[in-house]
């Protein structure tokens, strides 16, 4: 597969170094075989997340110098306001320090104990913010999302029949709002079609349920629609984005993804009364509504980044880079979730290490091996993250998939980095039988993947 040439050239560089095999081994031991505990400077290529890790452009850095740090009514806020209104078209908005702050405010205003919030799949911070208010997040993605080899072009779609049945079962009055996450991060970065967005919006509207979009990767989703959905080939990305948001009553967004900034978020809504409550919550927790926990310079970088994230040449390169890495891995016999997602490639760890049972963490073993072999950091998305004992039987319930996620920061790494990652995983594959599993030496009850410690078996 052809690698798309980067639509930029490099003006500032940040050196990275490849430490020796012995140093990598020592670093792993010191980190208790948990890559979250490694020092970032010991990592050669860091694919832990694409959130807040992208490279800002010269225009964004220049905009930072124009930051107006006035507490209220700053020039930078007005610049951001004009970009947000132009792209998303909602009546009201507030900036927040990141996506989960927007989710927290929305949940504080609308979720009451026992209420349900359906979505294709909630991201974990959205899920946790709903639960923190006593609500119940519900995932209704189509079944194809769980089949790693299915080539469905929109594997992030919400199952409309499941949504209708669910609303009938629990009653619309128990649903303060419905959601859709575009693209579906928890489900492999897979996109949602415009047809599905329209169908979901129509069901929510019919039941008078406000519809919110989790818009973290909306630009990548819009690009997938342009590439894969009939009738959208000749529309511009910004037109597609505007059509997406015209279907909704509001949105939460982590700007650390498709707005290519290191920090920032947005909460947009159409309902005036709700906006009053949102502002009160924001003032309590984040800051005045014209800065919402950000500095003026952050608002400037965000206003510029929103447009750069929609640039068609950039998006073609971005999705092309992810697809290239997946293709190189597949050529080397390393299976990945198909088709490649927008922001990340998900390696099927059970297929690479079939001899390691789920109780010995094949995803973790592959994640550790990737650092040991090449000082590349990925992230386990499997039993370390999700296995839990059944509350009734006490039996361990394992997730359907054991994955190693390679999330690609925006505008950061080049083709030779992608080749290096693919070669490293190909080397691991060639000696896969010799790789063994892990056991916990420490694991907290909640969100254990962040701080757990391991020992090789």
Which residues are designated catalytic? 71, 123-124, 214, 216, 257, 449
Q: Report which of 109, 90, 111 is spatially closest to residue 277, judged by C-alpha positions.
A: 109
* Cβ neighbours, 10 Å, residue 348: 21
Tokens 């929609």 label which residue? 310
Question: Among the candidate windows 120-128, 137-145, 322-330, 345-353, which touches ligand PLP by CB under 6 A?
Answer: 120-128
Q: Are the beta carbons of 268 and 92 closer than 8 angstroms?
A: yes
Structure tokens belonging to residue 150: 């299915």
Question: Is 119 near ligand PLP (CB under 6 A)?
Answer: no
* Beta bridge mates, 344: 407
Sheet holding 344-348, edge to edge: 344-348, 403-407, 379-381
Question: Is 256 near ligand PLP (CB under 6 A)?
Answer: yes
Site string for ligand PLP, 134-173 (x = CB under 6 A): ----------------------------------------
Nearer to ligand PLP, 24 or 97 (CB): 97
Which of 180, 216, 301, 323 touches ligand PLP by CB under 6 A?
A: 216
Cβ 426 to ligand PLP, closest distance in Å? 29
Site string for ligand PLP, 40-69 (x = CB under 6 A): -----------x------------------
Cβ 217 to ligand PLP, closest distance in Å? 7
Question: Is 100 near ligand PLP (CB under 6 A)?
Answer: yes
Cβ 260 to ligand PLP, closest distance in Å? 13
Helix (H) or strand (E) holding 102, with range, is helix 99-110
Question: Among the candidate windows 93-101, 111-119, 132-140, 307-315, which touches ligand PLP by CB under 6 A?
Answer: 93-101
Cβ 99 to ligand PLP, closest distance in Å? 3
Tokens 């999700």 label which residue? 386
Nearer to ligand PLP, 254 or 322 (CB): 254
Which of 90, 92, 123, 275 touches ligand PLP by CB under 6 A?
A: 123
Q: Provide the pairing of β-strand 453-456 with 438-442.
A: antiparallel
CA distance 46 to 53: 9
Residues in the chain: 457
DSSP-derived letter for residue 185 is G
Dihedral (CA of 87, 88, 90, 95) sign: negative
Q: Are the beta carbons of 268 and 274 closer than 8 angstroms?
A: no
Interacting residues toward ligand PLP by CB under 6 A: 51, 98-100, 123, 125-126, 181, 185, 214, 216, 254, 256, 265
């Amino acid at each position: 597969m052809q690698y798309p040439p980067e639509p930029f050239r490099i003006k500032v560089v940040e050196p990275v170094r490849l430490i020796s095999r012995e140093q990598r081994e020592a670093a792993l031991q010191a980190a208790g075989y948990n890559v979250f505990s490694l020092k970032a400077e010991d990592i050669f290529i860091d694919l832990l997340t694409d959130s807040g890790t992208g490279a800002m452009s010269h225009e964004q850095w220049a905009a930072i110098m124009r930051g107006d740090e006035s507490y209220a009514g700053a020039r930078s806020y007005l610049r951001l306001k004009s970009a947000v209104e132009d792209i998303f078209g909602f009546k009201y908005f507030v900036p927040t320090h990141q996506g989960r702050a927007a989710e927290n405010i929305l949940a504080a205003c609308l979720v009451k104990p026992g209420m349900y919030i359906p979505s294709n799949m909630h991201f974990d911070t959205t899920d946790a913010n709903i639960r923190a208010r006593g609500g119940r997040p519900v995932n209704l993605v189509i079944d194809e999302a769980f089949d790693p080899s299915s080539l469905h072009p929109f594997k992030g779609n919400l199952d409309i029949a499941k949504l209708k049945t669910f609303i009938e079962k629990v009653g619309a009055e128990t649903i303060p709002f419905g959601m859709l996450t575009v693209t579906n991060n928890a489900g492999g970065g897979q996109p949602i079609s415009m047809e599905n967005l329209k169908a979901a919006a129509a069901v929510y509207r019919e039941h008078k349920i406000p519809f919110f979009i989790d818009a973290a990767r909306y630009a990548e989703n819009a690009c997938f629609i342009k590439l894969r959905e009939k009738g959208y080939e000749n529309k511009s990305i910004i037109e597609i984005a505007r059509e997406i948001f015209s279907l909704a009553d509001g949105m939460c967004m982590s700007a650390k993804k498709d707005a290519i900034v290191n920090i920032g978020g947005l909460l947009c809504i159409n309902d005036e009364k709700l906006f009053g409550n949102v502002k009160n919550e924001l003032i309590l927790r984040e800051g005045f509504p014209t800065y919402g926990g950000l500095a003026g310079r952050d608002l400037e970088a965000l206003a510029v980044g929103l447009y750069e994230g929609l640039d068609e040449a950039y998006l073609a390169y971005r999705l092309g880079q992810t697809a290239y890495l997946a293709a190189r891995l597949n050529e080397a016999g390393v299976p990945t979730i198909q088709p490649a997602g927008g922001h990340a490639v998900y390696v099927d760890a059970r297929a690479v290490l079939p001899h390691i049972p789920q109780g010995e963490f094949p995803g973790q073993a592959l994640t550790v091996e990737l650092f040991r072999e090449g000082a590349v950091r990925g992230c386990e998305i499997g039993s370390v993250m999700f296995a839990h004992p059944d509350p009734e039987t006490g039996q361990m319930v394992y997730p359907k998939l054991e994955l190693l996620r390679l999330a690609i920061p925006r505008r950061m790494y080049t083709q030779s980095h992608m080749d290096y990652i693919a070669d490293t995983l190909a080397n691991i594959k060639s000696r896969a039988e010799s790789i063994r599993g892990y056991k916990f030496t420490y694991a907290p009850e909640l969100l254990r993947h962040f701080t757990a410690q391991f020992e090789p078996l």
